[in-house]
């Protein structure tokens, strides 16, 4: 049976549909009583699973329609970021941010609230100004920013329809320098948490929650912006951390050949903002991932709360990453309504060992109203999500109107929008 990228989820779909045209997709959706969309398969839970039809839009005609005057691009939902960001750059334009991996699909990324880093940068979904999707009745509908329901249609978990295209807001193309520092003392991070995480255009702190220091800090600085290393000369010591003498992988000891260029060599935004190069597969995939979002003002306290359970985290962890995400108005975006800090965890692929750690972490983060990433493993159920998302009921109502028969519902969405744990 087909599986997701990590291999921890084996899909149960009766059929995998790969329509070659939008009309064929519309017919497929209208004829199906149960259907879920498969993107690049980079989710770590059952969000894309179904016992009905699974559909991929990867075979639909590719569209990258760039409007330089409007600074927009209309892009096929099934395209992976690496397949169109170069074209944007050649047109003198850019997305405001990118995730760690350029290998993921556009629609799958924004449907789950996937993000990069940067205190001024919203999730990838915030670039979407219009979304075109095939709804359960086979109709082709477009929702645009300004429409009453638009904020519920972007981060939508595949629950409203099959995304065919999205129109994206763009910014002028820019270059980035990337620097890596090692050995940031945890005490310094705790004391200067917000200062450190907002010190560059994009900042990632990597730690294994062991010892007295974070392993690495990756600074991605726009050329011309103020900040460490933006002018091409990074200080050798920064907040007690040392400038790396050679390229590094986020997991200490792993060959950095798959990673984007470091050491302050300026390059295009799409070749520096991701952590990994488009031309390489970043890892063999035998891992699990989780992520939790808290408000930025609660970041230092949440960091200390996680340090208190570090002895539970470290034995089943490969690496953890701490980033910032700007607030959005999208109903189901984990950064909805609040500037956020995201605590990401890459685990060994042993769900039985990881599950009790998730329980301990969620208990530790409960005072901070932590929201889980929709595409990763977590335990939070629908009863708690109702409390965490002010527009939760609005989204349920929207899904009820667009998909009254529940064509796009599966066990995952039933757990989240009813009640119960969601692993």
pLDDT recorded at residue 286: 85
Helix H, strand E, coil C: the string for the chain is: CCECCCCCCECCCCEEECCCCHHHHHHHHHHCCCEEECCCCCCCCCCCCCCCEEECCCCCCCCEEEECCCCEEEEECCCEHHHCHHHHHHCCEECCCCCCCCCCEHHHHHHCCCCCCCCCCCCHHHHEEEEEEECCCCCEEEEEECECCHHHHCCCCCCCCEEEEEEEECEECCEEEEEEEEEEEHHHHHHCHHHHHCCCCEEEEEECCCCCEEEEEEEEEECCCCCCCCCCCCCCEECCEEECCCCCCCCCCCCHHHECCCCCCCEEHHHCCCCECCCCCCCCCCEEEEEEEEEHHHHHHHHHHHHCCHHHHHHHEEEEEEEEECCECCCCCCCECCCEEEEEEEEECCHHHHHHHHHHHHHHHHHHCCEECCCCCCCCCHHHHHHHCCCHHHHHHHHHHHCCCCCCCCHHHHHHHCCCCCC
pLDDT at residue 214 is higher than 50: yes
Spatial CA neighbour of 216 closest among 326, 323, 97: 323
Q: What is the pLDDT of residues 389-409, one digit of tens each?
A: 999 999 999 999 999 999 999
pLDDT at residue 422 is higher than 50: no
pLDDT at residue 284 is higher than 60: no
Q: What is the mean pLDDT of the chain?
A: 95
**Alpha carbon of 105 to those of 38, 202, 221, 333, 334: distances in Å?**
10, 21, 25, 17, 19
Binned at pLDDT 50, 70 and 90, residue 155 comes out as very high
Contact of 293 with 345, CB cutoff 8 Å: no
**How many angstroms separate the CA atoms of 153 and 145, rounded?**
10
**How many angstroms separate the CA atoms of 391 and 243, rounded?**
44
**How many angstroms separate the CA atoms of 290 and 296, rounded?**
18
Q: CB 208: neighbour CB atoms within 10 A?
A: 16
Q: Is 255 exposed, middle or buried (0-12, 13-18, 19+ CB in 10 A)?
A: exposed
Binned at pLDDT 50, 70 and 90, residue 99 comes out as very high
Tokens representing 55? 């559909």
pLDDT recorded at residue 229: 80
Q: Could you tell me whether strands 371-372 and 53-55 are parallel, antiparallel, or unpaired per DSSP bridges?
A: unpaired
**How many angstroms separate the CA atoms of 393 and 386, rounded?**
7
Report the pLDDT averaged over residues 103-124.
96
Q: Nearest 5°: CA angle at 124, between 422 and 93?
A: 165
Q: What is the pTM of this model?
A: 0.96
**How many angstroms separate the CA atoms of 128 and 122, rounded?**
11
Report the pLDDT averaged over residues 259-271.
97
pLDDT recorded at residue 118: 97
Q: What domains appear along the chain, each with residue ranges and CATH number? A: 64-173 (3.30.465.10), 175-187+210-283 (3.30.70.2530)
Judged by average pLDDT, the poorest of 22-26, 41-45, 331-335 is 41-45
pLDDT at residue 137 is higher than 90: yes
**How many angstroms separate the CA atoms of 201 and 176, rounded?**
9
């Amino acid at each position: 049976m087909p599986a997701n990228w990590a291999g921890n989820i084996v899909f149960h779909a009766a059929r995998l549909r790969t329509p070659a045209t939008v009309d064929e997709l519309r017919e497929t959706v209208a004829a199906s009583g149960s259907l879920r969309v498969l993107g690049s398969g980079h989710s770590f839970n059952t969000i894309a699973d179904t016992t009905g039809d699974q559909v991929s839009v990867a075979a639909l005609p590719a569209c990258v329609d760039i409007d330089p005057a409007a600074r927009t691009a209309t892009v096929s939902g099934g395209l992976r970021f690496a397949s169109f960001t170069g074209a944007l750059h050649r047109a003198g334009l850019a997305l405001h941010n990118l995730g760690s991996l350029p290998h993921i699909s556009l629609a799958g990324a924004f449907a789950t609230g996937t993000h990069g880093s940067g205190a001024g940068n919203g999730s990838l979904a915030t670039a979407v100004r219009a979304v075109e999707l095939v709804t359960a009745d086979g109709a082709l509908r477009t929702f645009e920013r300004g429409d009453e329901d638009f904020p519920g249609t972007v981060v939508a978990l595949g629950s409203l329809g099959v995304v065919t295209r999205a129109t994206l807001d763009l910014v002028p193309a820019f270059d980035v320098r990337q620097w890596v520092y090692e050995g940031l003392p945890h005490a310094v991070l705790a004391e200067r948490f917000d200062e450190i995480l907002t010190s560059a255009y994009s900042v990632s702190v990597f730690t294994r929650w062991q010892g007295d220091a974070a392993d690495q800090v990756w600074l991605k600085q726009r050329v011309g912006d103020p900040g460490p290393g933006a002018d091409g000369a990074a200080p050798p010591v920064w907040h007690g951390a040392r400038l790396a003498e050679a390229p590094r992988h986020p997991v200490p000891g792993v060959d950095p050949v798959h990673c984007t260029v470091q050491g302050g060599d300026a390059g295009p935004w799409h070749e520096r903002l991701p952590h990994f190069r488009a031309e390489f597969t970043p890892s063999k995939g035998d891992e699990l991932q989780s992520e939790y979002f808290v408000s930025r003002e609660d970041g230092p306290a949440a960091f200390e709360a996680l340090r208190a359970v570090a002895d539970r985290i470290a034995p089943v962890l490969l690496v953890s990453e701490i980033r910032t995400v700007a607030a959005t108005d999208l109903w189901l975006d984990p950064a909805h309504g609040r500037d956020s800090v995201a605590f990401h965890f890459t685990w060994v692929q042993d769900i039985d060992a990881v599950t009790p750690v998730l329980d301990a972490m969620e208990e530790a983060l409960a005072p901070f109203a932590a929201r889980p990433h929709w595409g990763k493993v977590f335990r939070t159920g629908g009863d708690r999500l109702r409390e965490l998302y002010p527009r939760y009921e609005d989204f349920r109502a929207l899904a009820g109107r667009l998909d009254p028969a529940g064509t796009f519902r599966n066990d995952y969405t039933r757990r989240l929008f009813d009640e119960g744990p969601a692993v």
